[in-house]
Chains A and B, each alone.
Chain A
Amino acid sequence: MEKGGRRKFLGICLGGCVAGIAAAVLYPVYRYLAPRSGSGATARVEIPEKDVPEGEAKFFEYGGSSAVLVRKRDGSLVALSAVCTHLGCIVQWEKDTQGFLCPCHAGHYTPDGVVTSGPPPKPLTKLPFTVANGSIRIG
């Protein structure tokens, strides 16, 4: 056997054992700490039509995040993600001005989610919905 071959071989075996033990400890700890997705993420949300009167907005949980339904003055409905596209604060509905305001850095959006002023780079994400039998179904 070449010089030091045995030492090297045993060193590799030892390294392998240590790596194996480390993996056996770290994997369960990682799984324990990892956020658990899945539950509720794909669930649909149903909201009765009468909960969203004209000119008002209704906030709700959707897909693990916040969303909002607005009925504009013309009676049409819009469903949006309520997460500001700037740094992720939750926008607020301003009834007097009929628009969204993000309180964090004063981003303004129209009821359709289009940015009118402030730092947000993109409009609010639109969510798909259907209306049937007096109930609004999002998702």
Chain B
Amino acid sequence: MILLKRLIDWIDVRVGVREVVEKELTGYLLPRNINTWFSMGSVLLVIFGIQVLSGILLLIYYVPDADKAFKSVTSIMNDVPFGWLIRMCHAVGSNTMVVVLLLHMLSVLFMGSYKRPRELNWLTGFILFTMVQGISLTGYLLPWSQLSFWATTVATNSANAIPVVGPALVEFLRGSKLVGPATLGRFFALHVALIPAGMIALIGAHLFFLKRTGVSTPPFGLQNTTNQWQGDSYHHEDHPGGIPFFPNYAMEDLRSIFIYLACFLAVVFFDPYLFFPKDAFIPANSLVTPAHIKPEWYFLANYQVLKIFPNELIGLTLQGAAMTFLALLPFVDRGKECHPLKRPLFLLCAIGGLLLWIGLTIWGHYS
């Protein structure tokens, strides 16, 4: 104990760590009415960490070669001690990450924290969301199963509907006319190098914006729930008299993290194949298309939209428009009010949109 104190003293006189702790942890005050939804970001950081670590471990035995990929994954599952655990953590984690990401986005939406001055926070977050989709899509191909192969065939094929450049774009995405070894090479590079590096950069930007602007005040339990930002000069939103981040809110973060881990490990241990249709266990065969090829659950709505419209271009355009609208939401929705119940139009659109998405997902699942 005394030794530890002397070590900290030694560091403190040199770099002033106690001042950093005072400023960033114990003296970092959060709004008094902060709630559990604000811990979703920390949960996401933990999930991202788990994905990176389990991913690096998988790289030790995974072979990114069309002839060997499926066998190497099978051997991770059956031969390598605890290989099943590492792989299941990675595969299940990719799904639960999307769940938590959706919760994070929904809470930011309903509490109006995307509104100015936090447009950049929303924008970086939204780009992170598309990157999570991209990293899932590219990771899906790597086991080189029937599911991987045909889901990628269908997903890349949808770009065909884009006028003029469509067919060339599809070939560029695949690296060949059809999905094949060339596709595996580029998806592997995207999945393990480019997208993770980009995500780290964007998480950095996301947290930087959060830090500079200050945490938003949730609109619950207050008289005035409008956004006080003037917009004439830079101003950090402080919360005098608020709750210290450490230890108070750190405990709440930890509680959410452990609740998440309990749910996550429950799936890993008791229903690991929850997200695995049976085509995931058959090696890829470029000459045999399986009967019901479906994307992952969070792409089912997109899949169903493409199916509804006889003209794929309409389906694709609608999705592009919806994504662009969401990305630019803080620039469209410029009202000052943050409380969801005092924003009827927003509430209507948000709940309507959510129900539409859920409906399309269920439809896509059963169609």
When each residue 33-63 of chain A gets 1 if its CB lies under 8 Å from chain B and 0 otherwise, what string results? Answer: 1101000000000000000000000000000
| B218 CB → nearest A CB, Å | 30
| A4 CB → nearest B CB, Å | 13
| B246 CB → nearest A CB, Å | 16
A91 to B53, CA, bound (A): 40
Q: Is A9 an interface residue (CB 8 A)?
A: no
Q: Chain B interface: which size bin?
A: under 10
| A15 CB → nearest B CB, Å | 13
Stretch at the interface among B79-87, B135-143, B204-212, B319-327: B79-87
When distances are taken between beta carbons in the complex, the residues of chain B under 8 Å from A32 are 57, 60, 80-83, 85-86
Q: Is A29 an interface residue (CB 8 A)?
A: yes
A109 to B86, CA, bound (A): 47
Q: Is A31 an interface residue (CB 8 A)?
A: yes
When distances are taken between beta carbons in the complex, the residues of chain B under 8 Å from A5 are none
Q: Is A28 an interface residue (CB 8 A)?
A: yes
When distances are taken between beta carbons in the complex, the residues of chain B under 8 Å from A34 are 81
Please report B residues at the A interface, Cβ cutoff 8 Å.
57, 60, 80-83, 85-86
Q: Chain A interface: which size bin?
A: under 10
Please report A residues at the B interface, Cβ cutoff 8 Å.
28-29, 31-34, 36
**Majority DSSP secondary structure for residues of A touching B:** helix
Listed A/B pairs (22) with beta-carbon separation below 8 Å: A28-B81, A28-B82, A28-B85, A28-B86, A29-B57, A29-B82, A29-B86, A31-B81, A31-B82, A32-B57, A32-B60, A32-B80, A32-B81, A32-B82, A32-B83, A32-B85, A32-B86, A33-B57, A33-B60, A34-B81, A36-B80, A36-B81
Write the chain A residue with the least CB distance to B89: A28
Write the chain A residue with the least CB distance to B80: A32
Interface centre among B60, B82, B83, B86 (most CB of A within 10 A): B82
The 10 closest A-B pairs by CB, nearest first: A28-B82, A31-B81, A32-B82, A31-B82, A28-B85, A32-B81, A32-B86, A32-B80, A32-B57, A32-B83
When distances are taken between beta carbons in the complex, the residues of chain A under 8 Å from B80 are 32, 36
Interface centre among B81, B85, B86 (most CB of A within 10 A): B81
A28-B86, A32-B82 given; name 15 further pairs at CB < 8 Å: A28-B81, A28-B82, A29-B57, A29-B86, A31-B82, A32-B57, A32-B60, A32-B80, A32-B81, A32-B83, A32-B85, A32-B86, A33-B60, A34-B81, A36-B80
Write the chain B residue with the least CB distance to A25: B53
A29 to B89, CA, bound (A): 12
Write the chain B residue with the least CB distance to A29: B57
When distances are taken between beta carbons in the complex, the residues of chain A under 8 Å from B82 are 28-29, 31-32
| B78 CB → nearest A CB, Å | 13
When distances are taken between beta carbons in the complex, the residues of chain A under 8 Å from B85 are 28, 32
A34 to B61, CA, bound (A): 12
A36 to B80, CA, bound (A): 8
Write the chain A residue with the least CB distance to B83: A32
When distances are taken between beta carbons in the complex, the residues of chain B under 8 Å from A33 are 57, 60
A42 to B142, CA, bound (A): 35
Write the chain B residue with the least CB distance to A33: B60
| A75 CB → nearest B CB, Å | 45
A34 to B60, CA, bound (A): 12
When distances are taken between beta carbons in the complex, the residues of chain A under 8 Å from B86 are 28-29, 32
| A81 CB → nearest B CB, Å | 28
A28 to B85, CA, bound (A): 8
A49 to B355, CA, bound (A): 78
| A26 CB → nearest B CB, Å | 11
When distances are taken between beta carbons in the complex, the residues of chain B under 8 Å from A29 are 57, 82, 86
A58 to B60, CA, bound (A): 33
A36 to B76, CA, bound (A): 13
Write the chain B residue with the least CB distance to A28: B82
| B12 CB → nearest A CB, Å | 23
When distances are taken between beta carbons in the complex, the residues of chain A under 8 Å from B81 are 28, 31-32, 34, 36
| A12 CB → nearest B CB, Å | 14
| A64 CB → nearest B CB, Å | 17
| B179 CB → nearest A CB, Å | 30
When distances are taken between beta carbons in the complex, the residues of chain B under 8 Å from A36 are 80-81
A33 to B81, CA, bound (A): 8
When distances are taken between beta carbons in the complex, the residues of chain B under 8 Å from A28 are 81-82, 85-86
Interface centre among A28, A29, A31, A32 (most CB of B within 10 A): A32
When distances are taken between beta carbons in the complex, the residues of chain B under 8 Å from A31 are 81-82
